[in-house]
Amino acid sequence: MRALIGSPQRWGALQDEFSRWRQGYRKAYLEDHSLRYERDRVLRDQIEETTRRVLQIERFERIVVLRDGQGEDADVELNSGSPDDLSDRWDRVAGQFRVCDRDGSDIPLINEPACRECHGRLGQAINYTDTFELMSEVGRAFSDYCDRLSTVVSGIVLDSENSDQLQKLFRLNSAGDLSDLANVLDDKVISFLNELFGNASGNLDDWTLPHS
């Protein structure tokens, strides 16, 4: 400082050097922020999809035969704990995630060295291991419920009185993957499935015949 006070002409060079450093920092920060923004957008989509899966699991749980494990694999326990526990844990994880709304062009980096919105630091590494592990757990639980549903429906098909073996094979194949049914589960559909599975010992030929 004494040298600068004694030689004022050095201030210009120092100011130029600082300006170059700040420009370099801004470039590096915005590039880093942009990469984090794109990564977080992808993760946000995955989180939204998992949130839908959690809701579908809760709806599956309202189907009595799936909740009580009355299918052929009734001795197989869901490996993700109770749906309520899974939902609570997911809500905590998903509730903590935020995607910065700034795309970089409106981040001044004048009075602060970081984005005012997300406060992300240059090169800051965020560990999402727990989030990805819980996503996988939700995915496994969802697959478990879909498998149980397919097993129950397959049993209904095999127990039907229709003697056309080839037709039964086609219906059995269709019953093998009912995962898309999760996309339309609502109160009305759940009520229908509970009634259907509850009457599985009755005459189900009308339902098991192919529809036009």
The per-residue DSSP string of 15-72 comes to HHHHHHHHHHHHHHHHHHHHHHHHHHHHHHHHHHHHHHHHHHHHHHTTSHHHHTT-ST
DSSP label at residue 182: G
> 76 or 147: which carries more pLDDT confidence?
147
Range with lowest mean pLDDT among 14-18, 33-37, 164-168, 206-210: 206-210
Q: pLDDT tens-digit profile of 160-190?
A: 776 676 576 666 667 677 777 888 888 888 8
Domain boundaries, the chain: 2-208
Number of helices (H) and strands (E), helices first, in the chain?
Answer: 8, 0
Q: What is the pTM of this model?
A: 0.71
- Rg (C-alpha) for the chain, rounded Å, is 29
The owner of tokens 């097993």 is: 151
In terms of C-beta density within 10 A (0-12 exposed, 13-18 middle, 19 or more buried), how is residue 114 classed? middle
Query: Which candidate, 122, 93, 128, 117, places its Cα nearest to that of 27?
Result: 122
Under 8 Å between Cβ of 172 and 158: yes
Under 8 Å between Cβ of 136 and 52: no
Distance of CA 5 to the CA centre of its chain: 60
Residue 91 has pLDDT above 60, yes or no: yes
Q: In the chain, what's the furthest Cα-to-Cα distance?
A: 105
Backbone conformation region of residue 112, classed left if phi is above 0, alpha if psi is from -120 to 50, else beta: beta
Residue 207 has pLDDT above 50, yes or no: no
Q: pLDDT tens-digit profile of 110-167?
A: 888 999 888 889 888 888 999 999 999 999 999 999 888 888 888 877 777 766 765 7
Q: How far apart are CA 154 and CA 71, in angstroms?
A: 10
Identify the pLDDT of residue 57: 93
Provide the 10 A C-beta neighbour count for residue 170. 12
Q: How far apart are CA 184 and CA 131, in angstroms?
A: 26
Residue 91 corresponds to which amino acid? D
